[in-house]
Amino acid sequence: MARRRNFKKGNRKTFGARDDSNAQKNWTELEKENPKWEKYYKDLGVIPENEWDDFKKTCQAQLPLTFRITGSRKHAHEVLALFEEKHLPGLTNVEFEGEQIQPPKRLPWYPENLAWQLDVSKQVIRKNEQFSKVQRFLVVENAVGNISRQEAVSMIPPIVLEVESHHSVLDMCAAPGSKTAQMIEALHSSEDEPTGFVVANDADARRSHMLVHQLKRLNSANLVVVNHDAQFFPRVKTDKETNQFLKFDRILCDVPCSGDGTMRKNVNVWKDWGTASGLGLHTVQLNILKRGLNLLKKGGRLVYSTCSMNPIENEAVVAAALRQWGDKIKLVDCSDKLPGLVRSKGISNWPVIDKAFEKKEKGDEGTTESWFPPSAEEAADFHLDRCIRVYPHQQNTGGFFITVIEKVGSDSVETAKRATTEEVADEAAVDKKQKTEDGASAAPSAPVKKEKLPRDANEEPFVFLDPKHPELEKCWSFYGIDEKFDKSTCLVRNAAGEPTRVIYYTSSSLKNIIEANEDRLKLVYSGVKLFVAQRSDIECSWRIQNEALQIMKHHMNRNRVVEANVECFKMLLIESFPRFEDMEKSHIDDNFVEKMKELSAGCAFIHVDRGEDKESMFLPVWNGTKCVNLMVCKESTQELLHRLFGIEVTSKKPAAEPKKEEGDASVEQEGKSEEIAGDDAEKSADTA
């Protein structure tokens, strides 16, 4: 990888004055060498001598492209079949510049063959036609949430965490969100709506908003994103009527680390690596783990992980937690999990090397006791060999460390007292931190408000609506929403607390959490868009948003659901605003046209039965007086055309522009966006 000088945008005189030869001189190849790194890991002895050259060479090589097919969707195996049948054959026995290219391979340890690895360079992906097609396929499927491009070793922690649909889950350091996404998928893996939820936290406000962008495409009403320092994550009330606090079933502590396991994709690690980073982060990592253990319920499971190979950040942190918690926690033996994953065991002995690269002994000035390895007696009790180490050369991945911890409790009075003291001290530190933050956020002369945490100018409150609100009553009646649907969990995000443009829906369990913790949690995001306001001159001025359909289709009657055949569905994907008159002439689906003409104008739904072994389609349409429009975004349109009909589309354009009456605003027709169903689009649909 190369680095380039940063020329300011618009400084054309300076940039243009350089010829090609001078421009080339501005590129400096970063050397993937670091003698201290090499000596440290050679002396550590975690890599057998006969494997060292392979290990180092792999660390210097480009990281392969890996992706997984999201497992929470019914059509995951349909997407897998598309990849295996349409793309995989063209990627086998491929030559590039005289060299045989390895075909994609399954990650053998990932469940149901849903994760894949491409051991090819970016140059091959760009220049080879077959690999370029795969790249486009991945981009389209990723955009609609069917595929996640994720580093292979990053997929391990959520799998061994073993999230189930009823679990309360906390991801303490969630950004950028790929592991959080896996846990949300696990939550939604059963046919029934999950009763559990995921709390995704990140200490950095900007990264927490990036996290929202990554997770919104999963359309989960069982997610809340918050912004806290994980070391001082606040206790969460279960509801506002009691003083009971939540203990989580599952917690992921994927902590900040020095990241030398990422040196294949983060080339700066080579020049910046030193022992100081690991030593400095150790206390923060231990604080996060301790906080996670305090928030974990008895019988619950916590995964501690880093993308570092340094034992100071790994086994030393785990050993310190075991030392403090005694027999209330234990390490879980995962040797029978993830069959096919090549791994190494955790270690119980390591040197402590300071930033001057001098070896330190316990008790030396400037050292922290928990840096040092356990005693022989402790090592026998701790079972650090149950930790998982994955090295880059073992299966062409990044480096990773994973430990599974179970909170088992103890009948020992002494251990219980020690753990209780630890928890009390921890809660005191959290309360102190929160009071400091609240006080710092308020004006010096003003008292701190207790009812809610302060919000910045861009944040809106979470206000739940009365289920009997007149606007909601219209929706319940128009769409025939049954009594099994929890109508009390609809919310808006505006200071007035009134439904004006968007109404969101969140799960019942999260409603209690949100309402009970406005004075504790810095809420960033929760809920999926349920209803979006449309024109006011029709029977119901609200339409159901596509992202909420997987929930709502189980709770509405069939009054506004129309059956369509496969050919009609294909036509609706290809054409925008097809006229009923033209559809009748083509006889593409007479029953569909007849039923749509009987319905009043507004939001309706089509159901397409594709056969027993295939996923049926259930999607929203906008029903006009003379035409109909499938309300699917451009990315989903492209994906459906490719997956269901083998049609590749790079830019979606309608077959014909809808006619507009005088005074109608112009309608943007480049692809069919869900947001197209504003007033102007609907007027065009009615007048086309």
* Active site residues per annotation: 307
Tell whether residue 202 is among the known ligand binding residues. yes
Tell whether residue 308 is among the known ligand binding residues. no
Q: Which residues pair with 619 in a beta bridge?
A: 606
Q: Which residues pair with 147 in a beta bridge?
A: 69
Tell whether residue 8 is among the known ligand binding residues. no
Tell whether residue 604 is among the known ligand binding residues. no
Tell whether residue 20 is among the known ligand binding residues. no
**Distance set, CA 647 to CA 126, 135, 326 (Å):** 22, 16, 60
Tell whether residue 519 is among the known ligand binding residues. no
Backbone angles phi, psi at 390, to 5 degrees: -120, 120
Tell whether residue 254 is among the known ligand binding residues. yes
> Among residues 359, 316, 353, 393, which one has the least CA distance to residue 61?
393
H or E stretch at 132: helix 129-143
The whole-angstrom separation of Cα 646 and Cα 634 is: 16
The whole-angstrom separation of Cα 225 and Cα 218 is: 14
Tell whether residue 205 is among the known ligand binding residues. no
The whole-angstrom separation of Cα 217 and Cα 374 is: 45
Residue 94 burial by CB count (10 A; 0-12/13-18/19+): exposed, middle or buried? middle
Tell whether residue 174 is among the known ligand binding residues. yes
**Distance set, CA 317 to CA 55, 213, 257, 320, 370 (Å):** 25, 32, 12, 5, 7
> Among residues 616, 608, 615, 599, which one has the least CA distance to residue 571?
608
The whole-angstrom separation of Cα 618 and Cα 553 is: 8
Tell whether residue 178 is among the known ligand binding residues. yes
- Long-range pairs for 646-651: beta carbons < 8 A, 24 or more residues apart: 646/86, 647/574, 648/136, 650/136
Peptide bond into 176 cis (omega under 30): yes
The whole-angstrom separation of Cα 439 and Cα 646 is: 59
For the chain, the distance separating the N- and C-terminal CA atoms, rounded to the nearest angstrom, is 54
Q: Which residues pair with 197 in a beta bridge?
A: 168
In the annotated binding site, the residues are 173-179, 202, 229, 254
In the annotated binding site for S-adenosyl-L-methionine, the residues are 173-179, 202, 229, 254
